[in-house]
Amino acid sequence: MKTGIIVYVVGSQFSDDTFDEKKAVRSLDVKADRVSFVFSGEKEDDLAYSWCDMTQKGMSRILCMTGVLTAPSMVRLVGHEMQLTGY
């Protein structure tokens, strides 16, 4: 069963050109087949689009976690995870 994680980044309004998604994924130390980032200042439906994209790419378990930027392209997870799809 493939697992996807959507990280909702709070406290940072938008991703910018310097945000390196691959570096941010490595800094998280999570086990997932796919990770995507949604920033709190972006469109309100970006979370739904990320969920739909992961579903279309075969993720059968999708979690949403909250994160904060601690440095450029470094995200720290905070709070609890919310299961959107799966067991």
Read off the pTM: 0.88
Q: What is the rounded distance in angstroms from the CA atom of residue 87 to the CA atom of residue 27?
A: 26
Tokens found for residue 77: 């997870």
Find the domain containing 47 and state its range.
3-85
Q: How many structural domains compose the chain?
A: 1
Q: What is the rounded distance in angstroms from the CA atom of residue 50 to the CA atom of residue 34?
A: 11
Q: What is the rounded distance in angstroms from the CA atom of residue 58 to the CA atom of residue 66?
A: 23
pLDDT in tens, 29-70: 899 999 999 988 887 788 999 999 999 999 999 999 999 988
